[in-house]
Amino acid sequence: MHSCVESSGVGIAQKSVFDPIEVSRNSVQPVAAIGNDDDDVSSDPGPTATSSGPVIELVDVVATLGQFPALSGATMRVDAGEIVLLRGPNGAGKTTLLRLCAGLLPVVRGNATVMGHDLATDREGVRPHVGLLGHQNGLFADLTVAENVRFWGATVGASTEEIGAAMERMGVADRLADVPVRKLSAGQKRRTALAGLVARRARLWLLDEPHSGLDQRGRDDLDATLRQAAAAGATILVASHELDRAESLATRIVGVVAGQVTAGGTRLLRGASPGCSRRRICASSVAAACSRIRCCRSQA
């Protein structure tokens, strides 16, 4: 049984809020630029092309939550410009993996390097480059939407224009701007948090169920934002159970099962083919993490 989703293009022609990202360091291959015909799926576990080293490199990493080994020998490599979907059942270690990459958890064993910083010795060094959106939104309830976004933008010295663009990007610029966060709905809070993340101009986005609470338009806005950020050189890790949407977004899928990362993961290559104006991606069974992914063109 296959679930199918349609991805209707990724190009976004509007002012970029991602310009300040250091694009020149990486040879980025935007998702939309990868063309193909029949072999829409590659199981090649290797990384995408990049001129610099990996953004994330984990080798046999063990991390614990208290006494519980939340990650038990995780090995993974992620390169610049990739959008990697972390897929796995509840409690598999996806959130732990994201928090580890954000420098919030100590590495008990193994080698973990993120943005060139060894997490065993320099967890603080990686943090300014990272934007983390966890299950919680990380907002100050008593501050307004604009004040929250301004706060997070200020941590990287974002200008007023950049902050305004970030708010506009996530649809919280107008009537919501002066509303205290405690009065917002769950979806509006999520949008505000994402606007803060955009304003931070992170080079590595770590997103845990980012679509949670968003309406259809919010999800579309988010996906477009992520694609644009990746095209500008940002690297994105997404943990999600909304597989159809997340798979349509990802350039690669990595399974996380029982604290272990399946090596390499499955790389998705997709693009428009002759006679097909829209890309269609069919995901196979979601039962096993990192299972087979098949892509097909619409023949209808």
Partner 1 sequence: MLTNQVLPFAGVTMLIFGFALDANKAVLELVAPGLVWLATMFSLLLLVQRAFAVEGDDGALDAMRVAGVDARAIFLGKAIGLAIQLLLLEVVLLFAAVVLYGETIPAGGVVLLVTTLVSATCGLAAVGTLYGGLAAGSKGRETLLPLLTLPAVAPVLIGATRAVESALGTGVAELSDGWQWVGLLTVFAVVFGVGGALAFGPLIDE
| Shortest distance, position 162 Cβ to partner 1, whole Å | 15
Identify the three-state secondary structure at position 216.
helix
- Whichever of 36 and 212 has its CB closer to partner 1, that residue is 212
Closest to 24 measured CA to CA, from 56, 55, 54, 50 = 50
User: What contacts 91, CB < 8 A, 6 or more positions away?
Assistant: none
What DSSP string describes 56-89? EEEEEEEEEETTEEEEEEEEEEE-TT-EEEEE--
Of 69 and 151, nearer to partner 1 (C-beta) is 151
Q: Are 26 and 204 in contact (CB under 8 A)?
A: no
Question: Nearest distance from residue 108's CB to partner 1, in Å?
Answer: 13
Nearer to partner 1, 46 or 106 (CB): 106
How far CA 43 is from CA of 39, 69, 295, in Å, comes to 10, 29, 12
As measured in angstroms, the least distance from the Cβ of 149 to partner 1 is 12
Binding site for partner 1 (CB under 8 A): 102-104, 106, 123-124, 127-128, 130-132, 134-142, 152, 155-156, 189, 200
DSSP 145-178: HHHHHHHHHHTTT--HHHHHHHHHHTT-SSTTTT
From the CB of 201, what's the least distance to partner 1, in Å? 11
Based on CB atoms, which residue is closest to partner 1, 59 or 154? 154
Contacting residues for 127 by C-beta, under 8 A, at least 6 apart: 102, 103
Measured CA to CA, the distance from residue 63 to residue 77 in angstroms comes to 17
| In the complex, minimum distance from the CB of residue 248 to partner 1, in angstroms, rounded to a whole number | 27
* Spatial distance between the Cα atoms of 24 and 232, rounded to a whole number of angstroms: 9
Closest to partner 1 by CB, 28 or 193: 193
**Smallest separation (angstroms) from partner 1 to the CB of 53:** 22
Residue 76 contacts residue 261 (beta carbons within 8 Å): yes
Nearer to partner 1 by C-beta: 99 or 169?
A: 99
